[in-house]
Amino acid sequence: MNKKTTEIKIDSEFITLGQFLKFADIIQSGGEAKQFLASHKVVINGEDDNRRGRKLRPNDAIEIEGKSYLIK
């Protein structure tokens, strides 16, 4: 199976999972993050994680609803 990975470029040391969801156009506003994370499985670097404050740094891999993302 050949999955396309979407790269998300950040200009800071890290972004939070909540910010990532907005950056990646998964949610429309930051206020939606808590509800989204409560009802969707998120895998970060191979581990389930739904903390919207989780810090994501370059080279972190995220999987949501069968889609793959890489922080750059």
- Can you give the pTM of this predicted structure? 0.89
* Amino acid 30: pLDDT: 84
| In CATH, 5-71 is 3.30.930.10 | no
pLDDT in tens, the chain (72 residues): 457 999 999 999 999 999 999 999 999 998 899 999 999 999 999 999 999 999 999 999 999 999 999 999
Token pair of 48, please?
Answer: 């389930």
Which residues are paired to 7 by β-bridges? Answer: 70
CA 20, CA 62: separation in Å to the nearest integer?
10
